[in-house]
Structure 1
Amino acid sequence: MDELKSFSYKRIGLITVLSMSAVLSGCNLIGGGAQKSEEKSALKVMYYDERSFYSQLGMVYSALHPEVDITVVTNQQSGPYDPQKDMKAEFDKFIDEKQPDVLMLTPEQLTEYAEDGKLLELDTMTEEKTYNKETLIPGLLDYMKELGGGKIYGLSSSFYSQAIFYNKDLFNKYGIPLPEDRMSWDKLFELAQRFPTDGAKDKRVYGLSLGYNGELYQLGSMIGASQNLSMVNAASKQVTINSPAWKNVFQTAMNGLKSGALYTEDPNGMNTSSQTYEDYLLRDPFIAGKVAMKLEGAYFIGQIKESQTRVKDKAIKSWDIVTVPVDPQSPDSSPNMSFNQIFAVNAKSVNTEAAKEFIRYVTSDEYARVTSKLQDGSFPVRTNYIKDDDNHNMKAFYSLKPAKSSIYKDYDKLPQNFFMQFMNIAQEELKSAFAGKKSLDDALATAQTKGQQIMVQEQAKQKDKPAEAAVTEKTASGTN
């Protein structure tokens, strides 16, 4: 498994080669057409760690902007995870102490910081003619405006997305119509169930693989997210899983799981210690030609193409992709696109122009061109560079506009230890329903009742914390 283990090192090496090629080419790679300045400036950028920053973003930028002295600051936590630690408070403290010029935020953090006036707006920059906003993926700017309450306070250089991969040969063999973009979940399951369900597990054909989403709670949550449903109303602190909409979602998921058409991964079944790399590739039933459709991310394209070279006689030959399933009431959007690396300018920055220029460059056409061949599972936000050489339907990854998932909406406004406890209860109740030990109605009603009880308990604990902290402080200071 030397090849498998060395993947990350190969990736870093590829980034380095691409980066230096871009620099040596002598092309005008300055994002947005901004002019270089001879004046030296310092820029403090927040990122995961210094090594990954320079391999993924900083090497090319530094070569093209020698007048900017970059310092990378990271908020990576050391030591074991502490569930009692207030992560939001820790993050705010980190920002206050380090004061990075460029912040790296999640969508939720961007919304919070924008509301608190901690960020500078970027609308003017995106409206500049040289920024070429028309080549950005559809809906990106609208999504960022939604996060920012009507203004753009952050931009991402890349995004992650999923699509439905399908095996053309299997569909033709069984005379089944090919999948289409913007199918509903019901349509997807109906297509999957048209494939035969007989035969041994390791020999038969399956209509659909959804990875590790093989439990009722997981699959139902995925379907519910596409329909903009939420299990909890964070504002009113009410659990809302026992509703007709959620019942319909979990019934759809249950029917799909019990149909025999779905291939589900065993999370405990992957042992690669004695496998060759070829075995590893063929372990995937879609690559081996045993699954007609599979929900996957962009990285899977690289695995398919590698298998067609390494195990050509055994690997899938003809394939394509369509969009993930959608809600028929909202067929042009999906929560399956994510931007977990959003860059924003700190309102307290003393280097605002350098900070904006950095964001301009890492979201530019030129940066997308340099990084478009990395195949690291993400895509650049510029559509000109989302393509492959075999004319596959790559638009499936970005033609649906990004939408915020309601499943975990305002998660940070809930009591800190609530959601994990509620999720465990919901999972167990739905397992009982799937096994026929109780009705789906009873399972959802019990999950809601027990979940609400936990909500009340955790709210009470949260209210008691300030008093406990005050007593602790008095004791430590020796006051009575």
Structure 2
Amino acid sequence: MGLGIHKRLTHGLIGLSLVSLLAACSGSGTSGKETDPGKENAKAEKPPEPIELKLHFFGVAEEEFNTRFKDTLQKKFPHITFKWLKSSGPQSTIEEIVAAGEVPDIIRGLSSTVQTRYLDLGLGYDMRDMVKKYNYDLSRFSSVFIDGFQALTAQNGELYGLPVSPFFSRVLYYNKEVFDKFGQPYLQDGMNWDQIYELARKMTRTEAGIDYRGFSANVSSLLTYNEYSLSTLDPAKDELSQFDTWQKLLNNYMRFYQIPNNAIRPTLAEEGAMFQKGTVAMHADIYSPYLDLSMLKNWDMVSTPIIEGAPKKIGTFPPGYLMIAKQSKYKDEAFKVIMEMLSDEVQMRDSRNGFLPTLAKKEFMNVLGQDNPAYKNKNMKAVGYYEFAPLRPARQKGMTVIETNKADALLRDAFLNAALGKEDVNTALRKADELLRKEVEAEKSKKK
């Protein structure tokens, strides 16, 4: 996969008032002995007992956790040892970890899988008591991440997790070398898809035996993280959601692949990698601190174009969520660790390194990428040029749920088939709708 946050809670220092009180009382007793304030302080400040917290962080490598969080956590909580449970490779899924009897204390999950890979496993813990106990300010976070997550997961207002980067915003990259070669002015923030289409037509050509394409895309991000916050499976019906809107979305992107010599590659993975080859002028994708464009000498990015009539919002790949297992013996310690991971200091450092902050204050977004060599001289305003779109809605209560990725894959296949000329957009969408209905029926049959 690839980029802060609350007021740090402080603990009152115990001992200063106690020392003063003891000093004032010394000599007033009949024994003539003075109480040793050092010993009293030692009792008051007895270090906490050592504990171990087990972590299962889906989508994050241990090296990244160590770089972003571990030093800070170990300095803040020297009595805590962190045990990293692998989250990739054989026997590493949360289901397998739990089945083996090793329930993590802190779990990083995704909003799209929190139902099947957290709640359905009986791990759900409502953090609202901890929020109240520590007077934790949830308004620090962008509201779309808190409100959206509760809408997806809560039955009665439960709060099962707090948002943590990475998450990814959509942008439009462009290769300045190709623009210079063809004498075209650079892109600007706020352009629309019609303008980009006309440029793509002009810049798709062959020069000195080299084929240049005007446009390529990470199609998955265009469809899944759309400005309408549109889910593939309808929240209230067992069918494709809003057929007409999907038709509008697919047709908008299809026209780029109907430009002569700008055909889509045979697979979406190949299409997504075309920009790095240096012969594509513009590329629609997510902004990510993990994206490697070092092979390009001169590139930049602008805001993602918006479809005419659509909300002027940026579709995002949502953040992860830090959650506590209800079986954990150390819920207070786990919550304190989560608060530290999401602190202003940590998120400010994260943002400077290129990770999008989950906090609402603009000061965190304003430093995005300043310490990241790949991004420090780029147009970072593009990343947050529009507001972030809400998270895609969940299925309504009582509706059969299927894996989000499975539903989205059907839509991606429909687009690819249409873009490759195998069928028209309407036919491709009708087939996707039919397959979605079958997936729902198959899921229903499992529960009979």
TM-score category (smaller protein): 0.5 to 0.7
After superposition, what is the alpha-carbon deviation per residue over 1:8-40, rounded to whole angstroms, capped at 9, x for unaligned? xxxxxxxxxxxxxxxxxxxxxx98153397323
1:221 paired to 2:244:
no
Closer, same or farther in 2 for the Cα pair 1:126/1:181, shift >3 Å? farther
Matching residue of 1:336: 316
- Does the Cα contact within 8 Å between 1:119 and 1:346 map onto a contact in 2? no
SS at match of 1:321: strand
CA distance in 2, matches of 1:449, 1:258: 26
CA distance in 2, matches of 1:128, 1:54: 25
Equivalent residue for 1:70, pick from 64, 72, 82? 82
1:118 paired to 2:125:
yes
Matching residue of 1:157: 164
Closer, same or farther in 2 for the Cα pair 1:438/1:146, shift >3 Å? closer
Matching residue of 1:322: 302
- Does the Cα contact within 8 Å between 1:388 and 1:394 map onto a contact in 2? no
After superposition, what is the alpha-carbon deviation per residue over 1:129-163, rounded to whole angstroms, capped at 9, x for unaligned? 8x993xx6685445445446566542233223242
CA distance in 2, matches of 1:357, 1:201: 61
SS at match of 1:226: coil
CA distance in 2, matches of 1:329, 1:125: 45
Matching residue of 1:191: 199
After superposition, what is the alpha-carbon deviation per residue over 1:162-185, rounded to whole angstroms, capped at 9, x for unaligned? 421223465466565543445444
Equivalent residue for 2:106, pick from 94, 102, 105? 102
Spell out the pairing of 1:384-395 with structure 2 (5 A cutoff).
385-388=367-370, 390-395=376-381
- Does the Cα contact within 8 Å between 1:182 and 1:332 map onto a contact in 2? no
SS at match of 1:119: coil
CA distance in 1, matches of 2:200, 2:50: 58
After superposition, what is the alpha-carbon deviation per residue over 1:49-87, rounded to whole angstroms, capped at 9, x for unaligned? 9954445532431133212243444566736x9xxxxx8
SS at match of 2:282: strand
The residue type paired with residue 175 of structure 2 is N
- Does the Cα contact within 8 Å between 1:138 and 1:401 map onto a contact in 2? no
CA distance in 1, matches of 2:345, 2:190: 31
Spell out the pairing of 1:381-460 with structure 2 (5 A cutoff).
381=358, 382-383=364-365, 385-388=367-370, 390-399=376-385, 400-405=387-392, 414=400, 420=406, 427=413, 431=417, 433-434=418-419, 439-449=424-434, 451-453=436-438, 455-456=440-441, 458-459=442-443
Closer, same or farther in 2 for the Cα pair 1:221/1:43, shift >3 Å? same
Closer, same or farther in 2 for the Cα pair 1:221/1:364, shift >3 Å? same
* Deviation, structure 1 residue 450: 5.5
* Deviation, structure 1 residue 401: 1.7
CA distance in 1, matches of 2:437, 2:240: 6
Total equivalences in the alignment: 389
The residue type paired with residue 281 of structure 2 is A
Matching residue of 1:290: 279
1:46 paired to 2:55:
yes
Matching residue of 1:57: 69
CA distance in 2, matches of 1:152, 1:64: 25
1:462 paired to 2:427:
no
1:233 paired to 2:213:
no
Bigger helix share: 1
Closer, same or farther in 2 for the Cα pair 1:346/1:226, shift >3 Å? same
Please, what TM-score do these two structures have when normalized by structure 1? 0.62
SS at match of 1:32: coil
Matching residue of 1:474: none
Please, what TM-score do these two structures have when normalized by structure 2? 0.66
- Does the Cα contact within 8 Å between 2:62 and 2:84 map onto a contact in 1? no
- CA-atom RMSD in angstroms: 4.9
Any unmatched runs of 5+ in structure 1? 1-29, 82-86, 271-283, 308-314, 465-480
Closer, same or farther in 2 for the Cα pair 1:413/1:152, shift >3 Å? same
Larger radius of gyration: 2
* Deviation, structure 1 residue 257: 0.8
After superposition, what is the alpha-carbon deviation per residue over 1:294-321, rounded to whole angstroms, capped at 9, x for unaligned? 23445578744x44xxxxxxx533x432
After superposition, what is the alpha-carbon deviation per residue over 1:263-315, rounded to whole angstroms, capped at 9, x for unaligned? 75565998xxxxxxxxxxxxx765665332223445578744x44xxxxxxx5
After superposition, what is the alpha-carbon deviation per residue over 1:239-277, rounded to whole angstroms, capped at 9, x for unaligned? 457x3222232222321211147475565998xxxxxxx
The residue type paired with residue 198 of structure 1 is R
- Does the Cα contact within 8 Å between 2:369 and 2:380 map onto a contact in 1? yes
- Does the Cα contact within 8 Å between 2:235 and 2:241 map onto a contact in 1? no
1:246 paired to 2:270:
no
- Does the Cα contact within 8 Å between 1:415 and 1:455 map onto a contact in 2? yes
1:32 paired to 2:43:
no
CA distance in 2, matches of 1:337, 1:417: 16
SS at match of 1:233: coil
After superposition, what is the alpha-carbon deviation per residue over 1:422-457, rounded to whole angstroms, capped at 9, x for unaligned? 9569837962x556565443443344345535644x
- Does the Cα contact within 8 Å between 2:266 and 2:420 map onto a contact in 1? no
CA distance in 2, matches of 1:344, 1:102: 6
The residue type paired with residue 77 of structure 2 is H
- Does the Cα contact within 8 Å between 2:127 and 2:158 map onto a contact in 1? no
Any unmatched runs of 5+ in structure 2? 1-5, 14-44, 359-363
CA distance in 1, matches of 2:420, 2:303: 32
Matching residue of 1:6: none
CA distance in 2, matches of 1:290, 1:76: 34
Equivalent residue for 1:345, pick from 298, 321, 324? 324
Structure 1 range deviating more: 94-103 or 109-118: 109-118
Identity of aligned residues (%): 18
SS at match of 2:203: coil
- Does the Cα contact within 8 Å between 1:182 and 1:323 map onto a contact in 2? yes
Matching residue of 1:258: 258
SS at match of 1:227: coil
